[in-house]
Structure 1
Amino acid sequence: MTLTTHILRRGLEAAHGIHGAMSDADQGDDGHSGGEAPSRVSPWAALLFFLTAVILMAALFCIAYTYGHVIPTLCMIEAPETETYLPVDVIDPTEPPPYSPAAPPKPTDGAADDLEGNAHADHEVLLIRNKPYTSSIRQTLLHLRARAGYWSRLRGLSMFIVWNLVSGLLVAIFGAATGSRIGVAFIAVVVETLLSNLHMAWVHIVISESRPKRWYQRIPALRTWTKIAPAVALWATTNQIVSILPILVCGSFGSLKHMNDPAYEPGKKDLYAVGAQGFMGVFLMLALFVLLQIPATVTLVRVAASMLPEEDETIVPFDRTFGGRTTPAIIGGQGKIGLVEAWRSFPWASRIRLLKLMIKVALIMMACWLLFTTVMVAEAHIIFGEQLGEVMKAMHGMTGPH
């Protein structure tokens, strides 16, 4: 469903694979009475390799959570760049000012007389342009740390884990009975929609200032389910479309269509065809992610943010009225914004900022995966040496479908 859940799943598979490698090696020593007994994989070497994998995957999980979930969510609700005129004497001359000098606004007829005789009026007012915190990943992290401490980069993690574990367990139980990928996708949409309040609680925890309440105390009342469910259903549907549509399309023709045929004998040209179809699948997935997944996610986050309790303050600047498109419930409004207005109220400047952020996050995750793979391969060669082949045989098939 998400990158983080995928990492968690692979971590469990890695643990199972290492255990299998050790078990197979032990059986090899005890079960071969004749001939040369195969060399035994040291349990300590396997344990060291396993612990390294767990530590690196935990680090990847934290990076993916902070950069792939927390920061983009803040970007989706933060108000765009604002401009303010401030007198020069309120600016600290020792600090590099985050502003651009500009001429003051043209005075009205009533104010013109007040400016007469002041030859230096044009130099006493400066235009302050306040850029959004989420325009820079580093600036966002510094802001979170200043407002809520170092671990604020993992804000909402408890709620996130509970929500994903519950949804994953329900999908695994009911989806297995369908026997098809489409059936599992349908079950996933239904389950995510039923757990809409958990998703909204996670959004509220991420975007708001820290509070002494526990994560389970932030879950909204059941009566709010009807308000957030449509946005979650839209998000869950696009999530499944992005996940399975490229696979279904690319697997419906060409060489990939015949891969499950035992009598199929692919040649050199088929290898090129598979590579082209794989490239097409990645391109289709990226296109669907940008065109469907991002708008649906923005809509969900902004609808959930519109129902943030009045006593909660957001940790980044946020316009609760969405440019006058909604009225807070405290003064007689609906207390939420509609699906269409949630997306329309997201200005183009913020959309571009979010897209740039997602590109940066993708590059960061690719670099982390490259580092993870390099470290694991190097450590495997150092620890296992000539026994690496036996370990790989024992772990064979762990990357297949489960």
Structure 2
Amino acid sequence: MAFGVVRLAVRTAIRTVSDFDGVVAGLPTPLQKRVEDYTQRDATGDEEKLKEALQSLFQPIPIAIFSLTLLAFIVISVCMQYAIQQLTWNLTVVEADLDSENSSISLSTSPPPPPYDHKSAGIIEKDVLDGEDSLENDSLLSNSSSAAERAIPAGYDARTDLVTKNIRSTLKHLRQIGGVKMWMRGFLAFVAWAFFTVVLELVIYCIIGGLTINGSEHSALFFVADLFAGLIASVMTSRIHCAWTHETLRDTSRLENVKWFSLKYVSKEDSKLLILPTMRVELAAAFTFGFPLVATNLVFRPLLEAANNGAGAGNAALACIAVLSSFAVGILATVFVLMPALIARTRLEASLLPEEDDTLVPLDRTFSGKMADVREEQLTRKQFVGRFLSLKGAWATFDKKTLRRSVWLSVKYHFISTVVGMMMIVFVCLEVGLMVAIWGQKS
């Protein structure tokens, strides 16, 4: 679905550049007059100096500095997006509901053992002073607790506190287990899943478009083709997504000979359980992102054309209200449609994690009984479809507390990303202004 939004933006940009006069003609009359006055103005005086200053910026050193700054902010944004919106999200929505009576997880509140040290985990070292062999920290050999139990601070109350109560505590928890590199755990697997999904969606979109659209400019056909392409591609890569989810939850800090990039896929029988939840996510995303676009196209454009034809300013105000209303519905759909579908899929994937695998956070694979019968074959076909495809089935896999924490996590992430984006704009403007000032001194 994200690929469809990007493609729509590119197609709109191409049409705007190729048909500039048509775009100007669609603007209100006062704006058309301003554009015409500006395009007919002669470039003299200060405007000519500004052009020369901008041309001077296209030199190797300014371009290199600008490129490095842009690259640094891109890397920061990607790392921040993955660490918070992907990794922290997965850990947040699957952490065991320890205050539930049906939870099958018990977590000790006693102080944790010392941090893991590979030099002291069962390695016999020579004591230089007395010449005797000693086995340090022998208790670590018999301690089979997971990283979630090892990294819990002293005084932790399992019924009132959570490892993922906020972004800082989650990142601190991961850093205590394996260092800062844990913040990017599973990144390569996520990139692999995204790459194959986008490539497959592009290929399927071209095939469906070539067979059905045949040069038609109707936007509904493009939307339907993109929807079917997204559904098929996501289902085909659902096992990779499940393996990535397991990689973000699994604790491998105590295992030896762990490859830097390795995925454990679920069985083919379990992979069948992923088909309907994956389709539910794609349908929810299509409604969440497609509804504002369709509503804007169907409502905003006629009202704006009526305002341009002299029908009065009331239609322009109605057009603005229609746009704001459609985006408000999109935000509500994100909270009450898309997020439940995402949480349900992540929890289903977490329930398929093998029992012998330790986890980074306390994990109840049944989620207080909500996911206890995912592998049972006693469900009828109607019950199976309702459980894994309907929105009601998605809401049945979590409680309001989980949804509230997920919403707050997304709000905090978007606030942080907005601040980082504003900082990037400020830095870029300062660099451009500095280059213009240097050019002015030289000239």
Alignment TM-score, normalising by the size of structure 1: 0.68
Give the one of 247, 253, 264 matched to 2:293.
Answer: 247
- Give the distance between the partners of 2:225 and 2:321, measured in 1 at CA: 28
Change (3 A) 1:256 1:190: farther
Which residue of the other structure, out of 46, 57, 70, is the alignment partner of 2:74? 57
1:320 to 365, 371, 375: 365
CA distance in 1, matches of 2:407, 2:289: 19
Contact 1:255 1:270 in 2 (8 A): no
Describe how 1:72-151 pairs up with structure 2 within 5 A.
72-82=89-99, 97-98=155-156, 129-151=159-181
1:196–1:228 contact (8 Å) kept in structure 2: yes
Pair 1:89–1:160, CA change in 2 (3 A): closer
Q: Does 2:331 match 1:286?
A: yes
Residue 94 of structure 2 aligns with an amino acid whose one-letter code is I
Distance 1:245 1:386, change over 3 A: farther
Q: Say which of 210, 214, 229 aligns to 1:187.
A: 229
Q: Would you say 1:170 and 2:200 are equivalent positions? A: yes
Aligned position for 2:430: 378
For 1:308 and 1:377, locate their aligned partners in 2 and report how far apart those are by CA, in whole Å.
48
Question: Structure 1 residues 53-62 or 74-83, which shifts more?
Answer: 74-83
Determine helix, strand or coil for the equivalent of 2:164. Answer: helix
- The alpha-carbon distance between structure 1 residues 326 and 162, as it changes in their structure 2 partners (threshold 3 A), is closer
Assess, with a 3 A threshold, how the Cα gap between structure 1 residues 218 and 43 changes in structure 2: closer, same or farther: same
Tell me if structure 1 keeps the 8 A contact 2:292–2:330.
yes
Deviation at 1:328, TM superposition (A): 8.6
Unaligned runs of 5+ in 2: 14-48, 101-105, 113-152, 214-221
Specify the SS of the correspondent of 1:310. coil
Question: Structure 2 matches for 1:1-400, cutoff 5 A?
Answer: 1=1, 39-40=55-56, 41-82=58-99, 97-98=155-156, 129-177=159-207, 178=209, 180-210=222-252, 212-213=258-259, 215-255=261-301, 272=317, 275-327=320-372, 339=388, 343-383=395-435
Deviation (angstroms), 1:209? 1.1
- Offset, 1:386: 10
CA contact (8 A) 1:80 1:131 kept: no
Q: Could you tell me which amino acid in structure 2 is paired with residue 203 of structure 1?
A: T
Q: Is the 8 A contact 1:208 1:313 kept in 2?
A: yes
Structure 1 residue 282: Cα displacement: 2.4
Q: Secondary structure at the match of 1:133?
A: coil
Q: Is the 8 A contact 2:93 2:402 kept in 1?
A: yes
Which amino acid in 2 is paired with 1:71?
A: T
Cα distance in 2 between the residues matched to 1:87 and 1:315: 17
Please tell me whether the aligned partners of residues 174 and 187 of structure 1 are also in contact (alpha carbons under 8 angstroms): yes
Could you tell me how far apart the structure 2 residues matched to 1:146 and 1:270 are? Answer: 58
Change beyond 3 A, Cα 1:225–1:375? same
Q: Point out where structure 1 has 5 or more consecutive residues left out of the alignment.
A: 14-35, 100-127, 388-402
CA spacing shift, 1:73–1:382, aligned 2, 3 Å: same
Distance 1:370 1:153 in 2: 24
Q: 1:123 — aligned with what?
A: none
Alpha-carbon shift at residue 57 of structure 1 (Å): 1.2
The SS at the match of 2:248 is helix
Q: Write the deviation string for residues 160-189 of structure 1: whole angstroms up to 9, x where unpaired.
A: 111111111222233245251331122112
Q: 1:256 offset after TM fit, Å?
A: 6.4
Query: Retained in 2: the 8 A contact 1:171–1:188?
Result: yes
Identity among equivalent pairs (%): 19
Per-residue deviation at 1:213? 4.5
Distance in structure 1 (CA, Å) of the matches to 2:283 and 2:93: 20
Moved more, 73-82 or 170-179: 170-179
Distance in 2, Cα, partners of 1:87 & 1:354:
25
Alpha-carbon distance change, 80 to 325 in structure 1, aligned in 2, over 3 angstroms: closer
Kept after mapping to 1: 8 A contact 2:200/2:233: yes
TM-score w.r.t. structure 2 length? Answer: 0.63
- Amino acid of the residue matched to residue 146 of structure 1? Q
**d(CA) in 1 for partners of 2:408 and 2:356?**
32
Secondary structure of the residue that 1:285 maps to in structure 2?
A: helix
**Aligned counterparts of 2:109 and 2:83: Cα–Cα separation in 1:** 38
Superposition deviation, residue 2 in structure 1: 5.3
The one-letter amino acid of 2:176's match is A
Tell me by how many angstroms 1:365 deviates.
Answer: 1.9
Per-residue deviation at 1:47?
2.4
Q: 1:240 to 1:380 in 2, by over 3 A?
A: farther
Kept in 2, the 8 Å contact 1:82–1:131? The answer is no
- Deviation of the 1:276 alpha carbon: 3.3
Amino acid at match of 1:44: I
**Cα 1:87/1:46, change in 2 over 3 Å:** closer
Cα pair distance change 1:304/1:45, threshold 3 Å: same
- State the Cα distance separating 1:78 from its structure 2 match: 0.6
Judge which range, 210-219 or 310-319, deviates more: 210-219
Greater shift in the superposed pair: 267-276 or 190-199 = 267-276
1:376 counterpart letter in structure 2: V
Q: Compare 377-386 and 307-316 and name the one that shifted more.
A: 377-386
